[in-house]
Amino acid sequence: MAKSVGKIEEILQTANLDAAYYNDDLNDFRGEISTADRKGASALIAQIVRKIIEMPPQTNQLRDQLELSSVEIRKLRGSLEMIRRKAVTEGLTNVAGRKYFDIMLSEMTDSDQRGWIRLPAVVRCQ
């Protein structure tokens, strides 16, 4: 899961850098175009158009990478939930075991320290 989160952070950092570069480029163009003559302005406009054309493929690539990472994270969360469930139930009977009892006891103790008590109920794990 940490690997997937790291991958997403890397993708977002790349997207942020790309956006900053485009912003800087467009700001540079804005400054140059205001001082350019007619011929220079045409060349700057052509550069702006090229930059704008470059943007969608990179945006699509980043979106695809984020979608793949999101799918991987959903799978990992499902696996983690299954592992947690197995960790607190007895394998043969699928009944809550000692680990679950310890978790519930700890939660009740924590809640009692905040000024309220949770009364235990019959617990059934599936």
Count of positions (residues) in the chain = 126
Domain regions of the chain by residue span: 2-84, 89-126
**122 pLDDT higher than 60:** no
Position 91 scores a pLDDT of 79
Position 119 scores a pLDDT of 57
Position 7 scores a pLDDT of 74
Model-wide pTM > 0.75? no
Residue with tokens 């960790």: 87
88/75 Cα distance (integer angstroms): 21
Position 22 scores a pLDDT of 74
Q: Are 108 and 83 in contact (CB under 8 A)?
A: no
69/10 Cα distance (integer angstroms): 11
Where are the alpha helices (H) located in the chain, listed in sequence order? 2-35, 38-88, 98-113
Position 11 scores a pLDDT of 75
Q: pLDDT (tens digit, 9 = 90+) per residue, 21-68? A: 777 777 777 777 667 677 777 777 788 788 777 777 777 777 787 788
Q: pLDDT (tens digit, 9 = 90+) per residue, 89-120? A: 887 888 888 888 888 888 877 755 555 555 55
Position 123 scores a pLDDT of 57
**82 pLDDT higher than 70:** yes
Position 117 scores a pLDDT of 57
Q: Are 73 and 7 in contact (CB under 8 A)?
A: no
**4 pLDDT higher than 80:** no
